[in-house]
């Protein structure tokens, strides 16, 4: 009888993983792409509604999600600046959707990584980042600054550490050839930018520019990896050939 076709599951220390992925990985890759694109579009649309007073370098990204107009009176680093984002719902919905799609994508793409501890930790950190993104959208800066700040930190730090760890999860896997160094570099950029942002060393980029240096590498990575995984051939069981032998 004809059998089913699937990649081997047993590997010795000298073998390399690859080259196929499960069909679910392609679905997860699509979610990575859709989530990143819809969030970028959501930010752009919200900024249009905000008007010319919004600055990519001098405004926080979270200003796009503020639900009230006026001088924001938070007690932390976000205090004392004017915000007015008429289309804040677009931003808040888009970042919540980003978190949901990222979380689902992580579940679907997990088999694209060899089964090892670094995979579990790296993907777990991406889940943390997804939860943080949802928290940012559900708790705008001028509604609950404490939850908002904690959520933003989880989103930023979770994604940065996730990429660093996932770079090690990609070792000895032909499906990730050419992506290990890129993933590691992206994670390092995120973490360095996060430290500079937290210590208010904006190196000429402004608060908004530095915050975008935290976010941009993650979104770009999700897009690039999503396209890459979507292009890898998938495997699926072949239909059984009734009445025939091989």
Task: Say what the pLDDT of residue 40 is.
Answer: 97
Longest dimension (CA), the chain: 77
Residue 156 makes CB contacts below 8 A (sequence gap 6+) with 129, 132, 190, 194, 197, 214, 215
Task: Say what the pLDDT of residue 164 is.
Answer: 97
| Closest by Cα among 100, 92, 48 to 66 | 92
* Predicted structure pTM score: 0.84
How many other CB atoms sit within 10 Å of the CB of residue 24? 15
The continuous run of DSSP H or E covering 129 comes out as helix 117-138
The tokens describing 226, both together, are: 């999503």
Q: CA dist 235 to 3, 40, 226, 230, Å?
A: 13, 32, 18, 13
Mean pLDDT of 197-226: 95
Mean pLDDT of 215-220: 97
Task: Say what the pLDDT of residue 19 is.
Answer: 72
Q: pLDDT tens-digit profile of 79-112?
A: 567 888 999 999 999 999 999 999 999 999 998 9
Separation of alpha carbons 186 and 245, rounded Å = 51
Whether 75 and 69 have beta carbons less than 8 Å apart is answered as no
Question: Is the predicted pLDDT of residue 9 greater than 50, yes or no?
Answer: no
Mean pLDDT of 58-68: 93
Separation of alpha carbons 239 and 107, rounded Å = 26
């Amino acid at each position: 009888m004809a059998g089913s076709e699937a990649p081997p599951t047993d590997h010795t220390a000298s073998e390399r993983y690859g080259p196929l992925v499960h069909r679910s990985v392609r679905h997860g890759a699509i979610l990575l792409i859709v989530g990143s694109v819809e969030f970028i579009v959501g930010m752009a649309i919200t900024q249009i509604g905000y008007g010319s007073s919004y600055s990519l370098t001098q405004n926080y990204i979270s200003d796009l999600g503020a639900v009230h107009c006026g001088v924001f009176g938070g007690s932390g680093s976000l205090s004392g600046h004017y915000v007015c984002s008429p289309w804040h719902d677009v931003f808040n919905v888009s970042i919540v959707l980003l978190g949901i799609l990222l979380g689902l994508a992580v579940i679907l793409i997990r088999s694209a990584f060899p089964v090892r501890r670094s995979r579990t930790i790296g993907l777990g950190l991406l889940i943390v980042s997804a939860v943080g993104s949802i928290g940012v959208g559900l708790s705008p800066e001028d509604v609950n600054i404490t939850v908002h700040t904690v959520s933003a930190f989880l989103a930023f730090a979770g994604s940065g550490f996730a990429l660093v760890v996932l770079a090690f999860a990609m070792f000895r896997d032909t499906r990730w050839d050419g992506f290990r160094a890129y993933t590691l570099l992206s994670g390092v950029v995120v973490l360095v930018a996060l430290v500079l942002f937290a210590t208010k060393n904006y190196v000429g980029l402004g608060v908004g520019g530095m915050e975008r240096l935290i976010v941009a590498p993650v979104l770009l990575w999700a897009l690039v990896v999503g396209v890459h995984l979507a292009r890898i051939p998938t495997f699926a069981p072949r239909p059984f050939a009734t009445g025939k032998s091989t």
